[in-house]
Amino acid sequence: MARKHLFMVALFTCSIIAISCGSNSNSSNNDQSNAPDTSASTTATTDAGAGSAASDSAGIGKFKNVQLTLPLDQKMIASGKSIYDLKCGSCHKLSDEKLVGPGWKGVTDRRTPEWIMNFVTNTDEMIDKNKTAQSLLEICMVRMPNQNLSDDDARSVLEFMRKNDGKK
């Protein structure tokens, strides 16, 4: 009798496992039914990726062609610095040393102006889709939160970065 009871318990447990496995495979079925979407967006990215190197270096966002000027704009530098002090300095040093995010030294040489402005105004999409941004995430292990900069803010911060990189 006790044996039979045990058997019932075992059977019951199995069926629970079966059910939970079932729900797992259900959810993976859901994943699969979503799969066409994913592959569609992958194709889209690959399409955009036809000029992939270009889109990677310009990043994703509204800035396609940022015109830089010399000499640097002192007003933008000042406003960029105060934005840095307020919103960026807790995670970014001005040297090449990593804090939470990469140090800013040399950033205007390793990234295009478009990439920087797209990254700081469209941070989430960039981290989701841009290879360079993703590789930074792998190094830093922290996702940079969107800092809600206006276009002008972003441009000012860029000017401040250029100054930090020794441009005149």
Read off the tokens for 141.
């292990």
Among 76, 119, 155, 162, binds ligand HEC (CB under 6 A): 119
* Residue 90 binds ligand HEC (CB under 6 A): yes
**Which is closer to ligand HEC, CB of 22 or CB of 145?**
145
Verify cis geometry, omega within 30 degrees of 0, for the bond prior to 71. yes
Q: How near is the Cβ of 140 to ligand HEC at its closest, in Å?
A: 4
Among 58, 60, 88, 94, binds ligand HEC (CB under 6 A): 88
From residue 146, how far is each of 5, 18, 22, 119, 126 by CA, in Å? 59, 43, 39, 9, 10
Residue 98 φ then ψ, to 5°: -80, 135
* Residue 117 binds ligand HEC (CB under 6 A): no
**In the chain, where does DSSP find H-type helix?**
2-48, 52-58, 74-83, 107-110, 113-121, 123-129, 131-140, 151-164
* Residue 111 binds ligand HEC (CB under 6 A): yes
* Residue 93 binds ligand HEC (CB under 6 A): no
Note the residues at the interface with ligand HEC (CB under 6 A): 83, 87-88, 90-92, 100-102, 107, 111, 116, 119-120, 127, 133, 136-137, 140, 142-145, 147, 149, 157
